[in-house]
Structure formats: C-alpha cells, structure tokens
Amino acid sequence: MSLPLDPARCRDPLLRPIAEKVAAEERLTPEEGECLYRTDDLISLGQLAAYANERKNGDRVFFSANQHLNPTNVCVLRKTCVFCSFARLQKEDGAYTRTLEEVFEEAGQAEGSPTREFHIVGGLHPKLRLSYYTDMIRGLRDRFPDIHIKALTAVEIAHLARVERTSIRNVLVALQEAGLSTMPGGGAEVFSTAVRATIAERKLTGEEWLRVHRTAHELGIRTNCTMLYGHVETARDRIAHLSALRDLQDETGGFLTYIPLAYHPDHNELGEELGRIGSSTTGFEDLKNIAVGRLFLDNIDHVKTHWPMVTPFMSQVSLSFGCDDVEGTVVYERVYHEAGATTQMHMPYAELVGFIRRAGKRPVERDSLYQAVREDFEDLNHASGDIGPAAGVPVVHAA
C-alpha cells in the first residue's frame, strides 16, 4: 500500500515530514501530535489518517448490535463534574435508580432483536453496593446467556472499591466472576490535573483511571479508552492524554478501541459558564479528533465514532478520516441526550448497514472483541447501498 498523497503536496508544510513518517510506519512524537492538532489542513490530515486506518482495517467498518443500559443517574459527583448533564443528586428532579427487575425488563427488549452486547454505565450512587452490580450482571447472564456484558467505567469501579473498602482488583474480580467481560472507556475526560480541577474536581485522577484499566487488562478484561474534547483543554493536554493511553497500550495491549467524545454543553454548569449552547465542537474539530487519534495511537487497532453524539451524518464522514467503527444500534442513549443531543436514540440494524455502505465501506457486524460475526447483508432491504436519501438514511430529529 502506498500513501495516497505525495507528502510534498500537503498544503501545510509542517505536515510534510509527518506524512513521510506515516508512510514509513514510524511512531509520531508528542510534538508532531500537537502539530496535527494545530493544522488547518484537514484534508491532508484526513488522507493520512484514512491511510493509517486502511492499513489496519482495510475498507471494513465495524458495528455492534448493542443496547445501552443506565441503571442509575444518581451521582456523588453531581456538583463537581460540571460538564455532565446526566447526573442527579438523590433527591433532585429526574433522579432515578432502577430496581434489578426494572433493569431486566429494559434489557428484555433484546429478546427477538439481534442484540449481542449490553453496554452498562451509570452514576456513582452513594448507597448502591457491589452486590447490586454483581446481581445485575448475573441476572442478565442467566436471562440472556448469549449477550456479552460490557459494564462500568473506571470511575464506577474506583467508587465501588471505596464503598466496599476493598481494592480495585477485588471489585474487578467479583464483577468478572459475575459475568462482566469487557469495560467501556468513559470517565477518562482529559488527564491533565489543571483541566480536571476545572471540569471534574473530585473525580478519580488520570493516574487512577489508568490504574483501573491496567488492573483490568492484567485480569484479561479488555477495555476501551476515550478523551472528552471541546471544552477548556489545549492541544498539549490532548496529546499528553493520548500519550498516556499509548504508553499503557504498549505495556498491556488491553485497549480495544479509542473513542474521542465531543463535549455537549446543554444543561450543564460548564456550558453555562463558557456561554455555549447547542454544540461546543465543530465538524472540523470532530473530524480532526478522529484523524489525530488514528495517527497518534498507532498501537490501538480501532477508532470509534459515537453517532448519537456527533450525529450520524458526521459519523459517516468520519469513515473517510480514519475511523473504522460506528458504535452500534444503542437503543437508548441518555448521557448525550441529557446534554442537548438531538439525534435519534436507536439506529436499527439495517440502517447501520446502509449507512456504512453509503460511505463506500464494507460493513462488518462484530462481537465485543472485534471478531467478525456477520459480513453478508444481502437479505436486508436497507443494505442495498444505493446512493441518495433512500430508506435507511438515519433520521435526525430537530431540536
């Protein structure tokens, strides 16, 4: 495979030596990473990232038949994680905590659907014990033995260790014994101490987030990683964050995918303070974050776009900027919808397939560990791959 562009033709001359390194498969330095963030030559950047992705994944784009579950939005960090619109205090309007039966009932929508994964995250409830989660995971496993369980962010794991006065490892072992197989990548935000002091004071530190993931990897629990961008962080903060993820991946190889998360400013204190409403990031920034992630994290196989967050339209374009995974069917999305997202919550399976095909890519339904489970979709109505606003174009509801 050769580079699709002559490095000398990058419009931004600062990208030219970086393009040479990408062609030679050489690792980028943090200074080069910052340069990627600073460039306005998005097209050259995107071409380099698309090339790096194609080398790893060819023209395949992965998706998962999944269902998100959020057992509680009650969170002890409600007042200090000022970027979050999902969390509530226990007595606040809109606070909820599901009983296990209610969780099983919502999960019941998986019956008769193609769901292969439950993605479970929630708030840091002051009173829920570890047994609530182990019973939930066991109960889901008993009821849906073929559905993989990806559950709880590093923040929730660290919180449970504190509630139980035990170690991170003990919490992870108990959850793994109950049936947890992988973990999502939320809660990382930006590791910089100064940024955390502004947006997520009292949340676990970057080192602690990395420690939870390192421990999970040691136990054979593969995890995802994320970065929340578009608030008060600088290019240097972003690259320091990505460097820490890359270092841990060198050490353990446990990360499955990297997901850049676009900050949504509605209904949270940070958005108010920054005077932002509706959208905090731009399409330019969203594509850049995908592309830089793909180029800098040379040891992580996949880069995922979360379509409910950046819109299906932007997710589809990101497939030409280094992205190879479009999340999944989702079913219910609460974190971003509380923060102003106006996208649909559920992307039906056939729509996902058509959406990937219309971007000129080859859809692959994957399991939670990126094994292909289905690549032939000829029988699906919406998967015909025809161009234009045909059936299967995702509906984005107006605000």
Residues contributing to the site for ligand V47 (CB under 6 A): 83-86, 121, 153, 184-187, 189, 224, 226, 228, 259, 261, 263-264, 268, 306, 327, 335, 339
Rg (CA), the chain: 20
Among 229, 224, 241, which residue's Cα sits nearest to residue 185?
224
Residue nearest to ligand V47 (CB): 186
Residue 258, judged by CB atoms within 10 A of its CB (0-12, 13-18, 19+), counts as buried
Residues in CB range of 376: below 8 A, 6 or more apart: none
- Chain-centroid distance of CA 273 in Å reads 25
Nearer to ligand V47, 39 or 153 (CB): 153
Give the number of C-alpha atoms closer than 13 A to the C-alpha of residue 312, restricted to the C-beta side: 25
Residue indicated by tokens 């219309």 = 358
Shortest Å distance, C-beta 234 to ligand V47: 18
Nearer to ligand V47, 255 or 349 (CB): 255
Shortest Å distance, C-beta 394 to ligand V47: 17
The pair of structure tokens assigned to 377 is 């979709």
Shortest Å distance, C-beta 208 to ligand V47: 14
Nearer to ligand V47, 57 or 85 (CB): 85
Shortest Å distance, C-beta 23 to ligand V47: 31
The pair of structure tokens assigned to 138 is 């066991």
Shortest Å distance, C-beta 189 to ligand V47: 5
In single-letter form, the type of residue at position 358 comes to R
Nearer to ligand V47, 47 or 315 (CB): 315
Nearer to ligand V47, 204 or 383 (CB): 204
Nearer to ligand V47, 34 or 327 (CB): 327
Shortest Å distance, C-beta 339 to ligand V47: 3
Nearer to ligand V47, 3 or 95 (CB): 95
Q: Provide the b/e sequence for 129-154 (b: ≥16 CB within 10 Å).
A: ebebbbebbbbbbeebeebbbbbbbb
Among 262, 265, 168, 264, which residue's Cα sits nearest to residue 223?
168
Shortest Å distance, C-beta 312 to ligand V47: 14
Question: Distance (Å, rounded) from C-alpha 226 to C-alpha 263?
Answer: 12
Nearer to ligand V47, 46 or 184 (CB): 184
Nearer to ligand V47, 51 or 209 (CB): 209
In degrees to the nearest 10, what's the CA dihedral of 271, 123, 244, 182?
-140
Shortest Å distance, C-beta 333 to ligand V47: 8
61 - beta bridge partners?
363
Shortest Å distance, C-beta 278 to ligand V47: 12
Shortest Å distance, C-beta 340 to ligand V47: 8
Nearer to ligand V47, 60 or 382 (CB): 60
